[in-house]
Amino acid sequence: MHITKISLKALLSGLTLLTLAACHQAPPDELPPSPKVSTLTVAAGPVELAEDLPGRVTAFRTAEIRPQVGGIIQRRLFEQGAEVKAGTPLFQIHTAPFQADADTAAAALQRAEAALVRAKIQAERIRPLVQADAISQQTYDDAVSQRDQAQAEVGQAKATLARRRLDLGYATVTAPISGRIGEELVTEGALVAQTDATPMARIQQIDQVYVDVRQPASMLRTLRGDSAHPPKAYILDGSGNNYGLDARILFSGINVDTGTGDMVLRILVDNRDRQLLPGMFVRARIARMADADGILVPQQAVLHAGSTRVWVVDAGNKAVLREVKLGGMVGHNYLITQGLKAGEKIAVEGLDRIQPDTKLDITPWRRETVAAMAGAPAQR
């Protein structure tokens, strides 16, 4: 009786183990899920290759304010850092010495004019006498000569007065160009002269600015391009953001450094909003036409393992590796010069899940799919 109970108990335990084992066995016809891959149908279109080069901003025009007459500065007539127009008064030099010189010149002119009047009367008075042989011809000629000399002295006195008045006007120092004026470099009460090495201030015209960049001289032919597709220029900040300013490459006056072989490329930039200031370091993106029917593929779609290849997906959603040739980077994309045709489908995300002759679970590629695909399990 005891043996029968033990046998029955062992039998029940065996049946339980067999049942559990049967539950854990996978059905023989169940297959692993297809790898999830995002794909892109490539298209052909105009492609521009761009190169980012460091550059420095310089003012369109710079004028150093220097005195044209010497004297003591009485007042500064501008706000430092302000925009000024051409002809705006900037400094006032003490005018008393120049006013005194002008007054002296005016008095000399009056004296010369009075002498001229006297000489004219004298010449007219003796003219009838010489005709009547009452005086000699020499006496009349001397009178005429004195009249002409008095006339010349009047002209000289007028010129001297004009010069003295000009010096008086120069005592007010004005802006020669329109632009933004910097700090004053001389203070009120300072003595200035025309021979001073230090200017009184500087004005920079920055409604337009230049951006100077360096490139190898061998790139000049490529940059010139053709008349149908001239190269474009974009000005970027340190973070790579486009300022959105109109820029134009100036090919006139290009200089080549004999030591390095580099050329200085000058870009004229419209700077109406004063976003760029002289001395700033920026980046200039030079874009030129590379292919009128180029094919661009995302950078992550290209495999670099000895050679450059991409996964090409056929109509049956199976992928094969194909070797391609690259022509350069355009943003975050590669320009494909050989190996792909417009209309073909390539895998972009989930490349590590792809196996040859394995049917894929295809979804259209979007930049937003990267984060979603990251959580999917990899298929080996």
CATH of the domain at 134: 2.40.50.100
Q: Mark whether 340 and 356 lie in a shared domain.
A: yes
pLDDT for res 158? 96
Domain-embedded: residue 197: no
Q: Which residue, 149, 151, 150, 142, is CA-closest to 123?
A: 142
pLDDT for res 62? 96
Q: Which among 224, 258, 290 is the end of a domain?
A: 290
Q: Mark whether 88 and 182 lie in a shared domain.
A: yes
Q: Mark whether 109 and 153 lie in a shared domain.
A: yes
Q: Which among 245, 267, 290 is the end of a domain?
A: 290
Q: Mark whether 96 and 162 lie in a shared domain.
A: yes
Domain-embedded: residue 4: no
pLDDT for res 329? 80
Q: Mark whether 95 and 173 lie in a shared domain.
A: yes
Q: How many domains does the chain have?
A: 3
Say if residues 206 and 179 touch (Cβ distance below 8 Å). yes
Q: In this predicted model, what pLDDT tens digit does every residue of 38-84 receive, in sequence order?
A: 999 999 988 877 788 899 999 999 999 999 999 999 999 999 999 99
Q: Mark whether 67 and 43 lie in a shared domain.
A: no
User: What are the per-10-residue average pLDDT scores of the chain (380 residues)?
Assistant: 50 54 51 82 85 91 96 95 95 96 96 94 87 84 91 96 97 96 94 94 96 80 59 87 91 72 88 94 83 87 90 90 87 88 91 86 71 35
Q: Which two tokens stand for residue 360?
A: 């894929």
Domain-embedded: residue 201: no
Q: Mark whether 319 and 262 lie in a shared domain.
A: no
Domain-embedded: residue 171: yes
Provide the terminal-to-terminal Cα distance of the chain, rounded to the nearest Å: 57
- The whole domain housing 165 covers 61-192
Q: Mark whether 258 and 315 lie in a shared domain.
A: no
Instruction: CATH number of the domain at 249, please.
Output: 2.40.30.170
Spatial distance between the Cα atoms of 190 and 173, rounded to a whole number of angstroms: 14
Domain-embedded: residue 354: yes
Instruction: Pick left, alpha or beta for residue 81 (phi over 0 → left; psi -120 to 50 → alpha; otherwise beta).
Output: left
CB atoms within 10 A of CB 84: 20
For the chain, the average pLDDT equals: 84
Domain-embedded: residue 280: yes
Q: Mark whether 235 and 258 lie in a shared domain.
A: yes
Spatial distance between the Cα atoms of 109 and 353, rounded to a whole number of angstroms: 102
pLDDT for res 66? 96
Q: Mark whether 243 and 261 lie in a shared domain.
A: yes
Q: Mark whether 87 and 110 lie in a shared domain.
A: yes
Domain-embedded: residue 143: yes
Domain-embedded: residue 16: no
Q: Mark whether 231 and 286 lie in a shared domain.
A: yes
Q: Which among 192, 226, 259 is the end of a domain?
A: 192
